[in-house]
Structure 1
């Protein structure tokens, strides 16, 4: 029976406002969540949570994507979902809009398919068009790759559900694939490819691809009739895309939604960026041919710069460089001759030729995740220098095509960028200072007291670096190896690169800019202009994901700063709610009373990092720190949940958690502070604003004079609940691991993690110690604390996908009872790696 407005569901706080619609799985209502003061959509099953409803809950809960309807809560017979203001997809659409929506649908499908989930009921009614793009709905027929499909009760008006067991027909008739109708094989993600082809046909033509006067005729058309042509309304390349989607044999279709999305984006860009033909037999072959052409064009372009010959502007050319299956690329770096790209991956450095689709391993990383800094080529292109976060932070050199890495310098905390000079020296930034070391290794010597991301200029004596911040505007500055003179060049928020065309390239926000620059006079000679948008940048290091070669090629990764989702999960990793997924957070901490969360939030426009507190009962998030505090990190709650300690430039501070009163300076500066259970002491790592170093005990009251607890290179200290033990992170064993020592130190030491670990968090009752493993899993270790210490066998709980440095950021926190985890989940927005040629020419 339909629910009337004002009805309260039996097992939830939700108030029904109005019905929205009904379908084969139940009725959908507009409802209100009084706790968060927001409206939601609730789908109520006619029965007590059928298997079909259960599939929808599991499918949506596993996904977090801007083009997929988000699930908030699950009840015994209802789902609470995002309320979407939009209209069902309907054709015909203009070509550019159809390509845009088609790429978004493919992006959503790719996210689902990568989780092993096939939707299997794609149709216009399940795709809403909003002012921000499309939203994919209704995973009620979704199937995980590991679970056989069970019979469903009920169906949409056009759905056929006539068979049983693994041979059932499930879906909406006009949008089903031949294998669904014939039940001749287990339907997989390629079923969604066929259904998408039907959708795309309808988006472009306004008509169904296969229709008939009866269900039997529609089935016959889908199984037997050739796919109709779109040549009257779409370009040939797009017609071929749809024809391939609608191949009867799944092996003849596009095999992944990701490749299909790339093809649509290529077609969308073709009219303005390249007139290249799409007549090659396969996408892979086409890329090889095009990349080879790019290499020839790049060489000619570089020669044109040197001989100054006037030429007609060439069109911009863009290529999406897809990593090989199973690879994830972070920061690409072009070789000096522009023929190769080095990338940092979770498994070490890899190099690929620009005109190839295969990459080659240069180093391997058995321990922690990548350092999130781009490798740097030697001037002759024969070696790479890179930063390794293992041990105490090392600068290493390795030959290409591979070999045993050589350590050039060690003990380098807070690393920020490398520049390899032609005189055989390497500039780098560590601990906020610019240093110099020989390419053969040795003792680093200081070059400048402040600065990050150095870049050498052609004379070999001057360099550029990113400076400012902490109250002064960020920008690119010029410095000299022969003097202390420094000069501001231009505003920027990333590293800069200079190229023989006479341009500096750098980021403002997430836009890659180019500005004419005279390296001899150390001055700009024209206004900056945009080259590419949505360029990836790592926070808070200000490391931008772009690289430029002298011959005119640019490689960059898209994605901007990205977003994170503060997500509650249980001990199995099953999500139960999201606090916020529209911002970028780090250093999260749940209050000891479990009623609030403190976290640093990054402003995606100004890049200011401020402290925010969320009241979990009321669902209200408010800013705690002042506008003048532009860099805040490492928040930690006092044991009574009334105060918060944190780091802001050059100082540790304490502030009332309600925001009342002024902040109190503690007179010291260090990384990742943690409060003792009696509330009298803070422990922190390093002095002078470092995030690693010796561990210090700082009285919160009195004279605030720090006392050394443990000397060495450590990170992320945490008091045990009884105050007798200290967990911390050290690389003394050769990789980052979690250790425990008594307080005071020196009377025994226990290694807690195995195969890499960081971010230790104690359960409030002292019965478990959690940490994050090097392969990104939350691990629980049973412990006994008191006068003595005992540790049990680590048990992996669930994998996580987070962002930020392994031993610097706090990427999760734990509820007081140890049964729920708040994880700062990386929102996967599928960044692309783009190769750009002729970037000086405007887009036409």
Structure 2
């Protein structure tokens, strides 16, 4: 059918089509420009645009309905009939109108994003939301509190431990000195009111906390639970039972703690100190914390007791039924605070999540609330404390015993006057062992507590070369000829033949071969002139020393049966025992804490029962022998180095000296070398150059002014007042 364009141009439909399109386009431009200026929300522009689309078919329909017959030159004169140019019923017109409106409305929704600049509305909304969110976060007042020179824990590397009293007016903290630490209390309402409350005997101590009533400070001393009154007095031993190095919870008449097998125990004072086991087997359970009402308890379960920060999970324990429920994954060291939150650690940050005590359920999102808190990833300790009123104190820092906080490789002159840092990358270096020709150092580089490998430091070229690649190797020593590296390998789960002591060629040209297969934690230390390997092994609760003939055992066969002989050096050994032979293999130096204080001792070798002499005084460990002179070097509890000159007594008929005569120790100058349990022996003595090769803090390796050196030893806490207001704004409940 041919369209009559002349008639169409004179019709109402054509006029309305053109007029509506022009007006609608103009209005949409106005909407797009004006509405964002007057801060109208996006839905206003969308609604107006949709109405324009809906009005278009309706206006066309009205124009068509009201159209009268058109008179043209061809059609002749118009009749006197004034009727409309269509004969449709009202019902059909309504249906046509509704259908066309629906069609154009749908078309408008599809084209909406292309017709409006929604970004201009969205950016303003986002900005408004950010402003509203920022204005809703209440930042609390922050100040600093100087604790002085607190040292660092020789085992875990943390600089102190802190605990606030329930009312927030008293602060307990630990200052590491000697073989253990001193526990101080400071009244925050007074100036210069610091008092010494108790001293611990060794490094297996600390973990301070206040009792629920604020009258006692609870702590560990040699893995035994103790308490001392805030006012002072003689400490009391709560229980003679040894426990794990973890936090404990002191209720009104009971204590909750981790036992030596990793289970959770409860000691009841009302029942005369009776100990009840709550959980045993499977994972290990750490950092118990009672919830208000004392019917439930928060705790950290970890599949690896040496890496709680990496394997921890927060669980809720019902103390009535002993049923457990997982609350938070990849988290550790949780506690409930009066703001209505559970706060916990993840990496080196404190996180929070709202918690509903009425139903014992999480009631919101997990949010990081404090960044950069010193944290021991191995044992799950985080250095902060919160009072019931909302005062927070924390130690700024990073992860200790993990992949963070790299050290610098450096040489240190004997008198400490020169510290020469290499230009190699910072890293977590430990377990130094000097090659027989003193040209290379075998060492361990840790990525985290569970991943480490053996590397060689070429002292002439100052470069590092990798020797193992499985991520399970650490604690290397050299064979007597310098051709092999003997080291420890951590066993892979469900494969007992993957761990123990292994050997690899020092030039990296051959595959590793096993020497002593074990799923226990082992550590090779020395090889005698008779080709006997001396090593220590953790038997579950203590370390024991052994010797193993490398000549009579087939080290190349994984199925070889090897027989190790136990060395009865002391009643209880530790990771600091580190036995090492003199250059002539006549004497064995080692560490022991049989007196309650770690000290260095020497015995004849191989007849270890024919004599014994104490080398160190006032604490010491990790001994070394000077190859050129009659001198024993060792590390002090403060991370410094000491020297003891010895003289051999008259030789017997077999040509062997009968005894040793020892001088008093001489303290050597130089920077402190902080070491964690993983990174023991982070320095070695080089006899040919009469210097030390060590992993030191980067700021120590650089030249510093005396003021900077003093400031570097100070420990500053951050104090946050009224922290709960800030916490509620950061982590509101759903």
- TM-score tier, shorter chain, comes to 0.5 to 0.7
1:645 aligns with 487
Q: Deviations over 1:537-568 (max 9, x none)?
A: 23543322122233323211012133433321
2:476 aligns with 635
Contact (CA 8 Å) 2:209, 2:219: kept in 1 or not? yes
Q: Deviations over 1:284-334 (max 9, x none)?
A: xxxxxxxxxxxxxxxxxxxxxxxxxxx986432222122258898612212
Distance 1:721 1:420 in 2: 51
Q: Deviations over 1:50-78 (max 9, x none)?
A: xxxxxxxxxxxxxxxxxxxxxxxxxxxxx
Q: Deviations over 1:418-475 (max 9, x none)?
A: 3324441231354655455456996866543442532223135534124134899612
Secondary structure, counterpart of 1:840 in structure 2:
helix
1:577 aligns with 2:428: no
1:468 aligns with 2:303: yes
Contact (CA 8 Å) 1:716, 1:808: kept in 2 or not? no
Secondary structure, counterpart of 2:517 in structure 1:
coil
Cα distance change, pair 325–463 in 1 and its aligned pair in 2 (3 A): closer
Contact (CA 8 Å) 2:185, 2:197: kept in 1 or not? no
Secondary structure, counterpart of 1:746 in structure 2:
helix
Structure 2, unaligned runs of 5 or more:
1-130, 153-158, 400-404, 493-498, 555-560, 649-655, 700-711
Q: Deviations over 1:170-207 (max 9, x none)?
A: xxxxxxxxxxxxxxxxxxxxxxxxxxxxxxxxxxxxxx
1:822 aligns with 693
- C-alpha deviation, 1:411, in angstroms: 7.7
> Structure 2 length normalisation: TM-score?
0.63
Contact (CA 8 Å) 1:718, 1:760: kept in 2 or not? yes
1:86 aligns with none
Cα distance change, pair 406–601 in 1 and its aligned pair in 2 (3 A): farther
Secondary structure, counterpart of 2:461 in structure 1:
coil
Distance 2:257 2:639 in 1: 32
2:184 aligns with 350
- C-alpha deviation, 1:800, in angstroms: 3.6
1:591 aligns with 435
Cα distance change, pair 315–463 in 1 and its aligned pair in 2 (3 A): closer
- Name whichever of 808-817 and 746-755 sits farther off: 808-817
2:592 aligns with 730
Contact (CA 8 Å) 1:673, 1:685: kept in 2 or not? yes
1:744 aligns with 2:592: no
2:727 aligns with 840
- Name whichever of 484-493 and 312-321 sits farther off: 484-493
- Name whichever of 692-701 and 509-518 sits farther off: 692-701
> Structure 1 length normalisation: TM-score?
0.56
Contact (CA 8 Å) 1:330, 1:343: kept in 2 or not? yes
Contact (CA 8 Å) 1:727, 1:738: kept in 2 or not? yes
Distance 1:750 1:546 in 2: 43
Distance 1:388 1:806 in 2: 18
1:68 aligns with none
Distance 2:515 2:364 in 1: 44
Contact (CA 8 Å) 2:436, 2:478: kept in 1 or not? yes
Cα distance change, pair 532–479 in 1 and its aligned pair in 2 (3 A): closer
Secondary structure, counterpart of 2:627 in structure 1:
coil
Cα distance change, pair 475–693 in 1 and its aligned pair in 2 (3 A): closer
Cα distance change, pair 658–706 in 1 and its aligned pair in 2 (3 A): same
2:444 aligns with 600
- Name whichever of 470-479 and 586-595 sits farther off: 470-479
Distance 2:255 2:307 in 1: 32
Larger Rg computed on CA atoms: 2
Aligned to 1:792, which of 658, 662, 670? Answer: 662
Contact (CA 8 Å) 1:558, 1:831: kept in 2 or not? no
Contact (CA 8 Å) 2:150, 2:715: kept in 1 or not? no
Aligned to 1:666, which of 500, 516, 531? Answer: 516
Contact (CA 8 Å) 2:454, 2:467: kept in 1 or not? yes
1:763 aligns with 626
Q: Deviations over 1:672-714 (max 9, x none)?
A: 4302234844333443366x53322244544233322115212
Cα distance change, pair 680–591 in 1 and its aligned pair in 2 (3 A): same
- C-alpha deviation, 1:754, in angstroms: 0.9
- 1:555-574 equivalent positions in 2, closer than 5 A: 555-561=393-399, 562-574=405-417
Contact (CA 8 Å) 1:535, 1:545: kept in 2 or not? yes
Cα distance change, pair 319–761 in 1 and its aligned pair in 2 (3 A): same
Distance 2:524 2:395 in 1: 34
Distance 1:452 1:613 in 2: 38
2:456 aligns with 613
Q: Deviations over 1:350-389 (max 9, x none)?
A: 1123344434223354976x66843121111111122235
1:809 aligns with 680
Distance 2:464 2:147 in 1: 38
Cα distance change, pair 671–430 in 1 and its aligned pair in 2 (3 A): farther
1:425 aligns with 2:296: no
1:676 aligns with 527
- C-alpha deviation, 1:621, in angstroms: 2.3
Secondary structure, counterpart of 2:437 in structure 1:
coil
- Name whichever of 575-584 and 408-417 sits farther off: 408-417
Bigger relative contact order, structure 1 or 2 (CA pairs below 8 A, ≥6 apart): 2
1:448 aligns with 280
Distance 2:661 2:321 in 1: 55
1:362 aligns with 196
Cα distance change, pair 595–455 in 1 and its aligned pair in 2 (3 A): same
- C-alpha deviation, 1:810, in angstroms: 2.3
1:654 aligns with 2:502: yes
Q: Deviations over 1:460-499 (max 9, x none)?
A: 5534124134899612232646777655432446422222
- Name whichever of 443-452 and 694-703 sits farther off: 443-452
1:713 aligns with 2:546: no
Aligned to 1:331, which of 161, 168, 178? Answer: 161
Distance 1:351 1:457 in 2: 24
Contact (CA 8 Å) 2:578, 2:623: kept in 1 or not? yes
- 1:221-260 equivalent positions in 2, closer than 5 A: none
- C-alpha deviation, 1:761, in angstroms: 1.4
Distance 1:705 1:522 in 2: 54
Contact (CA 8 Å) 2:527, 2:533: kept in 1 or not? yes
Contact (CA 8 Å) 2:431, 2:474: kept in 1 or not? yes
Cα distance change, pair 321–717 in 1 and its aligned pair in 2 (3 A): same
1:248 aligns with none
For the aligned residues, what is the CA RMSD?
3.8
Aligned to 1:478, which of 315, 321, 330? Answer: 315
1:383 aligns with 216
Cα distance change, pair 627–633 in 1 and its aligned pair in 2 (3 A): closer
Cα distance change, pair 671–445 in 1 and its aligned pair in 2 (3 A): farther
Contact (CA 8 Å) 1:638, 1:645: kept in 2 or not? no
Contact (CA 8 Å) 2:621, 2:634: kept in 1 or not? yes
Contact (CA 8 Å) 2:256, 2:288: kept in 1 or not? no
1:694 aligns with 2:518: no
2:327 aligns with 489
Q: Deviations over 1:3-58 (max 9, x none)?
A: xxxxxxxxxxxxxxxxxxxxxxxxxxxxxxxxxxxxxxxxxxxxxxxxxxxxxxxx
